[in-house]
Amino acid sequence: MSLTNNYHIAVPTAFHENEDLNVDATLEHIRFLKKLGVNSVLLCASTGEQHSLNLSEKIELVENLERLDVSSDFEILFGISSIRQIEAKQLASKISRVPQISSVLIGYPPYILPTQKEALNYTTSIIERVNKQAVIYNNTLRTGFDLSIQSYKDLIDNHYISGIKEAGNPQKISELNEVIDSPLIYFAGGEKELEKKICLGYNGLSSIAGNLYPLEVKQWFDSLLKKEDTQDYNLLKNKIDKLFEDSPLPLIKNEISIIENINFGICRTPLGN
């Protein structure tokens, strides 16, 4: 079964003031978004401070998702990425037994710069264990690694890939559309240059600003896909621009605490210093 939502909100992970994981506040924010009409969320990716979480913390998040009590049509994506492949495989095995998770977002490890072959083997080892559809996440700025067009094609031809989140070179989406026949969701990573990315072939949004303006961002995104200009979104775009003027996560977490009346806490330092 393919993903049914081309719009999800990349939710932050909540932490207590001592930087310990706060599962309760993380889940409370997801419940709040769901009540507003959001149909899909992404946990434990870049916005969720993926690489600040150790394996046991990620597993704790996974194990508590049943507490959300959501219907089967509410899509939860969960990020898997690790410098240690063995830990990524352990997390994938855990996720495979959790029905609340619809799909995984497979990211590449930072700093270590795997070869294309090593990255393919890493991705395959996760997919074989997770037994769920996957979205491939390529974010060269954060990892230093860039998945090639051929590697993308090899993965899509041989595995159940339902989407791609290309946060590196947006031009790759145009290239992929020329060599791949499978219908895929191409997720933009955040709202920056969203209009330009849609013109290049992006048809999905992994939203950051949606944590604060979930329905407004979706309405704007849908209007861009339909090439409609019947409504003025300048006010929303100004809010989004202001959000990204500085490090957005500390601001988002503070606003979540105020708007939703929950103690969403802080970022793990050095974020928020």
Is the Cβ–Cβ distance between 4 and 204 less than 8 Å? no
CA dist 243 and 128 (Å) reads 38
Binding residues: 47
Is the Cβ–Cβ distance between 104 and 92 less than 8 Å? yes
CA dist 216 and 221 (Å) reads 9
* Alpha-carbon dihedral 7, 8, 10, 13, rounded to 10 degrees: 170
Q: Based on the residue annotation, tell me whether 152 is a catalytic residue of this protein.
A: no
Burial call 5-37: b when 16+ CB within 10 Å, e when fewer? bbbbbbbbbbbeeeeebbbebbbbbbebbbeee
Within a 10 A sphere around the Cβ of 187, how many other Cβ atoms?
30
Binding residues for pyruvate: 47
Structure tokens at 189: 């990573």
Q: Based on the residue annotation, tell me whether 111 is a catalytic residue of this protein.
A: no
3-class DSSP state of 116: helix
Marked catalytic residue, from 89, 94, 165, 197:
165
Spatial neighbors of 263 by CB under 8 A, at least 6 apart, are 22, 25, 257
CA dist 67 and 160 (Å) reads 28
Marked catalytic residue, from 7, 108, 122, 137:
137
* Alpha-carbon dihedral 63, 69, 74, 79, rounded to 10 degrees: -20
- Positions annotated as catalytic residues are 137, 165
